[in-house]
A and B are shown apart, each in its own frame.
Chain A
C-alpha cells in the first residue's frame, strides 16, 4: 500500500459525459501527478500540482482539467468523453518534485 488513494476504482460512462476522478496523496506529500495509461499510448504524464498550484503540464487534452484543493487532495475532470479516453488513470504523490513518486492503485475508466 503506497498510501495514495484513488476513487472510484472503476468507472463506466457513455460518450459525451463528464466524470471526476479523485486522489488523496500520502500524508505530508505536497505534489500530485496525474498519468494516463492506455494500450496504445503507454503511460503518459498529464499534469502536476504542488501545494495547490499547477506546476507542469504534459499531454493533457483541453477537455481535461485538474485542481488541487487546500487539503491537498486532487481531482481530475474529464469532459465530453470519447471512446479513446478509456484508460487507467493514475495519481502519484511526492514530497516535492525531486522526491520519489508514490503511485495510487488507479481508476479504470471505460467509455462506451
Chain B
C-alpha cells in the first residue's frame, strides 16, 4: 500500500518570499505523484503531476515540484508567493498501474502574509 507524509501542517510565509511544501511517500511499487490545491470553500484542483520522464514538473500558478526517487520525496516549490496562494495543499500518490485510488497526505495550510 502507498502512504503520504506531509511534514508541515502549517507554513506561514511573507508575500513575494519563496516557499517549499514538503511531501514524502512510501511505496513498494512505482507510483504517480500529484499536488492538489484547495481554496477556502472549494473542491480540490490539480496543480501538477509526475507520471514519468523529467523529474522536475511544472504546474499551474508558477508552482513546480521535483520527484526524488532515492529520497521518496515530491516537494512543491514556488519562488515568489502571492496572497492568493493562501490555501490548503495536498500531496497524493497512486500506483502507476491498475485501478488504484489516490492516497492523500493530511495537507499543508499555506498562509501568505502581506
A-side residues, CB < 8 A to B, are: 2, 4, 33, 42-45, 48, 50, 55-56, 58, 90, 92, 97, 100-106
Contact = CB atoms under 8 A, between A and B. Distances in A.
Main secondary structure of the interface of A (DSSP, over half): strand
A45 B90 CA distance: 14
Given A58-B101, A92-B44, A105-B43, 9 more contacts: A33-B101, A45-B103, A100-B46, A103-B36, A103-B43, A103-B45, A104-B43, A106-B42, A106-B43
A100 B101 CA distance: 12
23 contacts: A2-B43, A33-B101, A43-B44, A43-B90, A43-B107, A44-B104, A45-B103, A48-B99, A48-B101, A50-B99, A56-B99, A56-B101, A90-B43, A92-B44, A97-B99, A100-B46, A101-B46, A101-B102, A103-B36, A103-B44, A105-B42, A105-B43, A106-B42
Given A33-B101, A56-B99, A42 B43 contact: no
A39 to B, nearest CB: 10
B94 to A, nearest CB: 9
A43 B43 contact: no
Contacts of A45: 101-103
B99 A55 contact: yes
A48 to B, nearest CB: 7
Interface string B89-107: 0100000000111111111
Contacts, number: 45
Interface residues of B, number: 18
A51 to B, nearest CB: 13
Contacts of B103: 45
B40 to A, nearest CB: 11
Contact of B100 (A2, A56, A100, A102): A56
A4 to B, nearest CB: 7
Interface in B17-45: 36, 41-45
A20 to B, nearest CB: 19
Report, nearest first, the 8 A-B pairs whose CB atoms are least far apart.
A103-B43, A45-B101, A43-B104, A97-B99, A103-B44, A42-B106, A105-B43, A104-B43
